[in-house]
Structure 1
Amino acid sequence: MASTLYKWAGLLFLSSFPYIFTLRGDFVFDDTEAIVKNKDVSSESWTDCFYNDFWGTNIKSNLSHKSYRPFTILTFRLNYIMNNRQLSALSFKTTNLFCHILSTVLVWFTYKIVVNIQHLKKHKIDISYFGALLFAVHPIHIEAISGIVGRADLLCGTTFFLAFICYDKAINSQKHSSLFMVVTIILSAVSMLFKENGVTVLGFCLFYDMIHNIKNKKETQIYKFCNKINMKRITILMLSIVFLLYGRWAIMGGTKPEFKATDNPAAFADSFTKVVTHSYIHFLNSLLFVWPQWLCYDWSMGCVPLIQKFLDHRILCPLLMYLYGIFIIRAIFCKQNKKFTKRILLLSVALIILPFLPAANIFYPVGFVIAERVLYIPSAGYCLMISFGLNKIITRFNKYKLGLIAYIILLLIYGLRSWQRSYDWQSEYQLFVNGMLVCPLNAKIHYNIAKVSDARNKTDVALASYKEAIRLYPEYYQAMNNLANLLKNQKKYQDAEYYLRSALKYKQDYPAVWMNLGIVLASTKRLKESEQAYKIALQYRKNYPDCYYNIGNLYLEMKKSENALDNWLKAINFNRKHELAWTNMIALLDNTEQLDRALQLIPNALSELPNSPLINFAVGNIYGKMDRFEEAEKHFLKAISLFDRKVQAIHYANLGVLYHRWKRYDMAEIMYKNALKINPDFKTAIRNLISLQKYKNR
């Protein structure tokens, strides 16, 4: 009893403690698109996720990645609702960690079934438990646990192992075999709705059934594989696989996802390059099991250069992997090895290969090069093989202590690596920088570093990273667009225009580039060209509120006030929360003395954005002009409070003018002085303060 409790305690501790750092993290990388920006997570509808892909795009759309995981999205919704409809990364990450703990326990139970297949009573070590501990701490799981989108893999794994356990019950139970069979099919479907590769559990069950029947051949002298009951069970499995795969194909609308060469370069290469490079990628996946030192959140683009020549030394790596595979096959067919050894090897290899097949680029191309989270289930096969191998070595050489020390060292290495890697997943910046160390040739990593650096106001780093991304991938039009925006902000308009026009060479129908080109052209007073650029942007994207806002600004500069108002109104119609469009409309009506129109607009603006400092300040100006001093004061004070550290001299100065006109001279003087504390050279405040002091000293 005590021994069992210690085992449970050890398993629970090792499946949680190495990943504890990840709980302190934020939404990172894919989490932003799949959770933060995904309306299926936060909307009122519970059914939209069944019509959309994992990223919130209609599953039948040509733009969809065809990743259909509605049950995973539903768990995100539950997190969102249980946290008072707030997107809390801690809540999401805690759930992920719990899923891994549960999955580890189920892996232990799965190993018990596989290891006890011969009902052997004596092993030098507890193979199932040692394998489960290794699974608990393996660093390849970090991406699935720390990246919230990895929950798809965690829950797919949990239901995968649960389905297998039920299938074993279906084989061995006489009374409830049919019930367990039905539960197995249901769980496999659920697993597939968490993530696509969940359907492979039926293939693993089929393989296990064949092994199980061969085991019983001598016991009954009947080849149970041909037994009517077994044939019925296996037929049900095969029909279920066909039915689920057909259902998956139908949900996609009978179309395959369309990927870019940057997502998976080898898939678009010639036959030799494709086969050899994919073989090398399979080797890298295997290497990550054994020595998970080089972990990266994104292996796309140039991370793994294509093998295009027969003399490329990397071609030896997959050959070594295949030689090892031949060694395994030889061990399986070697007459000297016991059936127990052969079956453990067969099931370990099956557990590695079958769940990996959908991501292997064998049947169809996938949208990634290497994705560590897809190795979550296959790693269970690796851990079982290592544990079994350790038992064989200890048994053969009778070195229990030495073998145990080696195992503990491996456990510590994996655990410490998981601990270290979970720290990288706390923030995007740390994750991206670490990725650059592993994949310095990946242009997307440099692009992501640039975006995060820009958000952190590290402009020099952002500029350098965007340029490096473009150097590595000269057709990277997104990087060109973002780099141009940075250069535009530095008033380097000529350089900005160069990169924007370069981007258009590779992506003519990119509305954001046309809009940004319009902004740059307007900044250089080429107003007609700017107007044309904006109109082209709107041709490619009809509902583009930012573009309507910017063309409104252009018309304001061209002294076409009504055109400006019309376009700002269009921006608001497409985005009711467009703060700058509301602000500019109110300000223009203020400056053109159209106060009645402004008064009609104000309630709608405040209804949509009651806590906007810009809108409250603009409203304060309107009410001040109309001598509605108390209302003006209220909005000025609220604006200043909302601006907080970003408050400017003009905000205090305008409130000072209000008090000045209101004859609250002491308050006016205080506000003028506050304005001058922020900007001592603010002429309006200086002039008004001198005038006020002269008036008070008369």
Structure 2
Amino acid sequence: MDNSQKYITISVAAFICYCNTLGGTFVFDDNEAIVKNKDVMPYTNIWNIFKNDFWGTDITLNSSHKSYRPLTILSYRLNVLYSKDKLDAFQFHATNIILYGLLCLLSVPVFELFLKKSKYATNVHDIAFLSGLLFTVHPVHTEAVAGLVGRADILSSVLFFVIILLYQKVRNSTGECTVFWFTVVVVLTGCAVLCKETSITVVICSCFFYGLLIIFVLRTILRNMNWLTEEKLFSSALDVCPLNAKVHYNIAKIAADNNNKAVALEEYRKAIQLNPKYEQAMNNLANLLREDKKFEEAEVLLRKAVDVRPNFAAAWMNLGIVLTNLNRSDESEHCYKMAIKYRNKYPDCYYNLGNLYLDLKRNENALKAWEMAVLYKPNHVAAWSNTLVLLDSMKKYDEVIELGRTALIHNPKAPALHFSYANTLGKLQQFEKAEGHFLEAINLNPTNGLYYSNLGVLYHRWGKKDKARQMYTKAVQIDPNLKSAELNLKRLTKEAQ
């Protein structure tokens, strides 16, 4: 078998082993490192990838994972650019397979290099080929190829193999050539480290036993099937580790995300049974129970969670929400403040605290809480909307206009903000501006009957009765239970008689 046939064989073997991953989605850590990582998207400043860790967190923060792989993130970014700014899982998986094929091809000359150094080696080229083929089909590589975060391993390994081969150039060259090749090796080493930190070291294993090839191919293909979806991945983990609380937690989380509440409840309970101090499972289970209005049971779980981890800010906030539903306002306020104590920049907690103050008719306190919410999260539409509605009810129209502009700068596609802003403009008889924002709200959310109804009120005040009638009619068609639109339509009909 000549060299070209050997390389074709390895390429085909790599493709056969991993072609079934092309239909896979983003699973497990792919969601954190790619889907939720803004550094992957072209609209984010490219220099951020050199300031943040592999998961998109500022690497200087204590909460950072400290895994620094900017060149791997850059490769993800190129996938997104190629897919026209979309997260196309097929493109990501295809790239992984291509890079893995390149790695497998490089393994042959690397094996040849080491075999030639042994005085006992015979049939060096054939042994290197078979070793490379065994390397290609070995199922241990499944996670690195089928899991998209494994690209860090593939990229660093490709560069490391290249470095090993080029280092021979350094040893065999003289004069200026030595400097040149040494410089290339140093640069590529730096690039390898920027793909994954562990590439600072390498262990190359060679294997024997032709019979293993078929077994490895089959095992690799089967293992790939577990990486096609998160459900399959975590279910396979359950087969291996049925008494692992983390596995049950992961299955519950996926079930909850897929609105399979029964499975989620069961698996969260199993996780807590296996690990009675599993505070994150307690928190998530409590949230599901809260949705079913089982507030007392949710309270018990959340109190256990904060006992296990007193600085668990999310559990404190969720406990505050539960206590609000139980009409225990003082305790609820305390819980929100505890959450903020442990996580100062916590917009959702400030939002919920503001809602509590609103229920208690402590309007100024509510406004201050929502102000903090939008300070830390300018795209917190609910906090902006509540602020505008409350200020409007307090007849502080100038503040509504000022804050409304700011809110819409940060959230130009939020229909609720356009709607609230338009209502205030209408009260100030700025009819044309109000009409524009009502129409924008309807354009963004054409199935909300209240938007049509209030636009009808605007036209009614404006003297455009035909348009008012159209809007009232449309509102009633969308929402037959919208009594205000129905009454206004009757009133308009009487005026016309």
**TM-score interval (norm. to shorter):** 0.7 to 0.9
* Match of residue 640 from structure 1: 442
Residue 619 of structure 1 pairs with residue 421 of structure 2: yes
The separation in 1 between residues aligned to 2:458 and 2:35, in whole angstroms, is 42
How far apart in 2 are the matches of 1:626 and 1:60? 49
In the alignment, the residues of structure 1 paired with residue 174 and residue 252 of structure 2 have an alpha-carbon distance, to the nearest angstrom, of 62
Q: Which residue in the other structure is 1:512 paired with?
A: 314
1:137 maps onto 2:137 in alignment = yes
The 8 Å contact of residues 134 and 207 in structure 2, kept in 1 or not, is answered as no
Residue 124 of structure 1 deviates from its aligned partner by 11
Q: Is the 8 A contact 1:20 1:422 kept in 2?
A: no
Partner of 1:30: 29
Task: Give me the whole-angstrom Cα distance separating, in 1, the residues matched to 2:326 and 2:341.
Answer: 23
CA distance in structure 2 between the partners assigned to 1:424 and 1:630 by the alignment: 58
The alignment status of 1:497 with 2:319, answered yes or no, reads: no
1:385 alignment partner, SS class: coil
SS of alignment partner, residue 610 of structure 1? coil
1:560 matched to 2:382? The reply is no
Secondary structure of 1:28's aligned partner: coil
Matched to 1:683, the amino acid is K
Query: Does the CA contact (< 8 Å) of 1:189 and 1:198 recur in 2?
Result: no
TM-aligned CA distance change 1:633 to 1:551, over 3 Å: same
Name the amino acid aligned to 1:501. Answer: R
| 1:600 corresponds to | 402
Report the Cα distance in structure 2 between the residues aligned to 1:605 and 1:425, rounded to whole angstroms.
Answer: 42
Q: Is the radius of gyration larger for structure 1 or structure 2?
A: 1
Partner residue in 2 for 1:197: 198
What's the counterpart of residue 279 of structure 2? 477
Deviation of residue 23 (structure 1)? 3.7
Answer yes or no: is 1:681 the counterpart of 2:481. Answer: yes
* Alignment check: 8 A CA contact 1:110 1:161 kept: yes
1:330-349 equivalent positions in 2, closer than 5 A: none
* Residue 114 of structure 2 is aligned to residue 93 of structure 1: no
Over residues 203-260 of structure 1, what are the superposed CA-to-partner deviations in whole Å (9 max), with x where a residue is unaligned? Answer: x6xxxxxxxxxxxxxxxxxxxxxxxxxxxxxxxxxxxxxxxxxxxxxxxxxxxxxxxx
Q: Following the alignment from structure 2 to structure 1, what is the Cα–Cα distance between the partners of residues 131 and 223?
A: 21
Amino acid at match of 1:545: P
In the alignment, is the contact (CA less than 8 A) between 2:115 and 2:124 conserved in 1? no
Q: Is the 8 A contact 2:324 2:356 kept in 1?
A: yes
TM-fit CA distance, 1:549: 1.2
* 2-structure distance, mates of 1:121, 1:539: 67
Secondary structure of the residue aligned to 1:573 is helix
Q: For residues 439 and 524 of structure 1, what CA distance do their matches in structure 2 show?
A: 39
Give me the whole-angstrom Cα distance separating, in 1, the residues matched to 2:342 and 2:296: 25
The aligned runs of 1:97-108 (5 Å cut-off) are 97-108=97-108
Tell me the secondary structure at the aligned position of residue 259 of structure 2: coil
CA shift digits 1:455-476 (9 cap, x unpaired)? 3222222222222221222111
Name which structure has the greater RCO, CA cutoff 8 Å, separation 6+: 1
Which deviates further from its counterpart, 649-658 or 510-519?
649-658
TM-score between both structures, scaled by the size of structure 2: 0.87
1:650 corresponds in structure 2 to 450
Equivalent position SS for 2:207: helix
Structure 1 residue 578 corresponds to structure 2 residue 380? yes
Corresponding residue SS for 1:457: coil
1:201-350 correspondence runs (5 A): 201=202
Find the aligned partners of 2:403 and 2:339 in 1 and give their Cα distance. Answer: 28
Provide the rounded CA distance (Å) in 2 between the counterparts of 1:657 and 1:589.
Answer: 20
Aligned to 1:156: 156
Inter-partner Cα distance in structure 2 for 1:664 and 1:106: 76
Q: Which residue number in structure 2 is paired with residue 16 of structure 1?
A: 15
CA pair 84-44 structure 1, distance change in 2 beyond 3 A: farther
Task: Map Cα deviations across residues 507-532 of structure 1 (whole Å, 9 max, x no partner).
Answer: 10111111111111122221121111
Question: How far apart, CA to CA, are the structure 1 residues paired with 2:234 and 2:433?
Answer: 49
Distance 1:597 1:60, change over 3 A: closer
Q: Deviations over 1:154-184 (max 9, x none)?
A: 1121122222223345556678667656655
Name the SS of the counterpart of 2:345 in structure 1: coil
Q: Does 1:385 align with 2:185?
A: no
Deviations 1:348-377 (CA, angstroms, capped at 9, x unpaired): xxx2xxxxxxxxxxxxxxxxxxxxxxxxxx
Query: Residues of 1 paired with 2:124 and 2:8: CA distance?
Result: 22
- Paired with 2:32 and 2:435, the residues of 1 have a C-alpha distance of 41
Superposed CA RMSD? 3.2
Counterpart for residue 147 of structure 1:
147
Change (3 A) 1:437 1:170: same
What is aligned with 1:588? 390
Please tell me whether the aligned partners of residues 449 and 476 of structure 2 are also in contact (alpha carbons under 8 angstroms). Answer: yes
Q: What is the aligned length?
A: 494
Distance in 2 (alpha carbons) for counterparts of 1:21 and 1:607: 45
**What residue identity is the alignment partner of 1:18?**
C
Q: TM-score, normalised by structure 1?
A: 0.64
> Which runs of no fewer than 5 residues in structure 1 stay unpaired?
205-350, 352-380, 391-405
- Structure 1 residues 174 and 603: CA distance shift in structure 2, 3 A: closer
CA contact under 8 A between 1:28 and 1:147: conserved in structure 2? Answer: yes
CA displacement at 1:565 relative to structure 2: 1.2
Q: Equivalent of 2:411, from 609, 613, 617?
A: 609
Alpha-carbon separation, structure 2, partners of 1:17 and 1:637? 55
Structure 2 CA distance, aligned partners of 1:652 and 1:435?
52
In the alignment, the residues of structure 1 paired with residue 136 and residue 26 of structure 2 have an alpha-carbon distance, to the nearest angstrom, of: 23
Partner in structure 2 of residue 7 of structure 1 = 6
Equivalent pairs: percent with the same residue? 44
CA–CA distance in structure 1, aligned partners of residues 253 and 290 of structure 2: 16
What SS does the aligned partner of 1:126 have?
helix
CA shift for structure 1 position 689: 3.7
Specify whether residues 471 and 636 from structure 1 end up closer, same or farther in structure 2 by C-alpha distance, changes over 3 A only: farther
- 2-structure distance, mates of 1:637, 1:420: 54
